[in-house]
Amino acid sequence: MKKDTINVLFVGNSFTFYNNMPQMVQSMSDEGSIYLKTSQSTVGGSSLKDHWEETRGTKTRELLNNSKWDYVVFNNHSLVTINDFDNFVKYTKLFDSLVKKLGAKPIIMMTWPYLSNPLMQEHISKSYIDIGKDLNTLVLPVGDIFMKARKLRPQINFYADDKHPSEDFSYLIALIFYKSFTQNSLDEISHRLTTKDLYGEKTYLTFLSKEMSLFLKQLVNKSSIVASEEFYKN
């Protein structure tokens, strides 16, 4: 394991674990100067309320209290800002306070609209940006960057269904996190990310084309990705 290691816990639901996105982030760091050791507490369809109350089989607060984390990434339910705004605010604040009290740095992952309703994004973006400013907590604008990708490549379907990310989209999300955590160049990141199974054998996480990988890396490079470490120095 590399000398400089950052321990990251991803908390959320299928928007996070689809296509093994946390493992993609870790794989991207394999050859870099900073190693991102990622873990997750994710349950399909869950909200931060579920994670706080430890319902639906979640054990997030137990994980937070029993391990040392540098960053904790929060992915709330995709409809919470629209259908349950009070709880969006309440449980984001509760987790934000807990993570900071434990000495880690919270990061909020902005979600994206459903394929069938792209107009969701305006409300989602405002809700996340506002709460980030209120808490002085970093919000990574995944949904906004995703909408740029759709605008630039309208012929490509970045969805696996009406709401979940395709492999290309999960790769984009991983790039956003990798850039924020390390500020390293994206140029050498492969279009075919790998990991190892329990027997040490190579397992492929992605099978993107070189052209798609290059487009997504260029998009992230041209986007305003805030460096996590720099944000929390302010």
- 55-82 pLDDT, tens digit per residue, is 989 999 999 999 999 999 999 999 999 9
* C-alpha to C-alpha distances, 153 to 142, 149, 168, 191, nearest whole angstrom: 16, 6, 12, 18
CB 30 within 8 A of CB 37: no
In a 3-state reduction of DSSP, which class is residue 222? helix
Q: Which two tokens stand for residue 119?
A: 């107009």
- Quick: pLDDT tens for 141-164: 999 999 999 999 999 999 999 999
Measured in residues, the chain has a length of 234
Query: Residues 21-35: pLDDT tens digits?
Result: 999 999 999 988 899
Residue 202's DSSP bridge partners are 196
Whole-prediction pTM value? 0.96
